[in-house]
Amino acid sequence: MALPRLTRAPRALSAFTRRLAVALALALTLAIGPGFAAEGIDDGPYVFRDAGGLTARWVCEGEPVVEHLRVRRWPATVPARCGVDAAVEIRAPVEARSRVDLRDVRRIVALSDVHGQYALMQRLLTANGVLDDRGDWAWGDGHLVLVGDVFDRGPAINEILWTLYRLEGQARAAGGGLHLLLGNHETMVLYRDLRYVNDRYFTTTNTLGIAYADLYGPDTVLGDWLRSRPVIARINDLLFVHGGLSPEFLALGIDNETANDRYRESLGLPREATREDPRYAPLYDGSASPIWYRGYFLDDGLDTAAVDALAARLGVRHIVVGHTSREHVEGHHGGTVVAVDSSIKNGENGELLFVEDGVMSRGLLDGQRVPLMEVE
Read off the pLDDT of residues 121-134 as tens digits, 9 standing for 90 and up: 999 999 999 999 99
Q: What is the pLDDT along the chain (376 residues), one digit of tens a residue?
A: 333 332 222 333 343 433 343 334 334 444 444 333 455 899 999 999 998 899 999 999 999 999 999 999 999 999 999 988 899 999 998 766 778 999 999 999 999 999 999 999 999 999 999 999 999 999 999 999 999 999 999 999 999 999 999 999 999 999 999 999 999 999 999 999 999 999 999 999 999 999 999 999 999 999 999 999 999 999 999 999 999 999 999 999 999 999 999 999 999 999 999 999 999 999 998 889 999 999 999 999 999 999 999 999 999 999 999 999 999 999 999 999 999 999 999 999 999 999 999 999 999 999 999 999 999 7
How many angstroms from the chain centroid is the CA of residue 249? 22
Strands 232-235 and 101-102: parallel
Closest CA to 225 of 328, 125, 327, 88: 88
Q: What's the pTM value of the predicted model, to 2 decimals?
A: 0.89
Give the DSSP letter string of 313-358.
Answer: HHT-SEEEE-SS--SS-EEETTTTEEE----GGGSS---EEEEETT
CATH numbers and ranges of domains, the chain: 43-90 (no CATH), 101-375 (3.60.21.10)
Angle at CA of residue 239, ends 234 and 240, nearest 5°: 95
How many angstroms from the chain centroid is the CA of residue 117? 12
- Using CB atoms within 10 Å of the CB of residue 9, give its burial: 0 to 12 exposed, 13 to 18 middle, 19+ buried: middle
Residue 239 · residue 232 · CB < 8 Å: yes
Q: At what angle do helices 118-127 and 157-173 cross, to 10 degrees?
A: 30
- Report d(CA 211, CA 214) in Å as an integer: 5
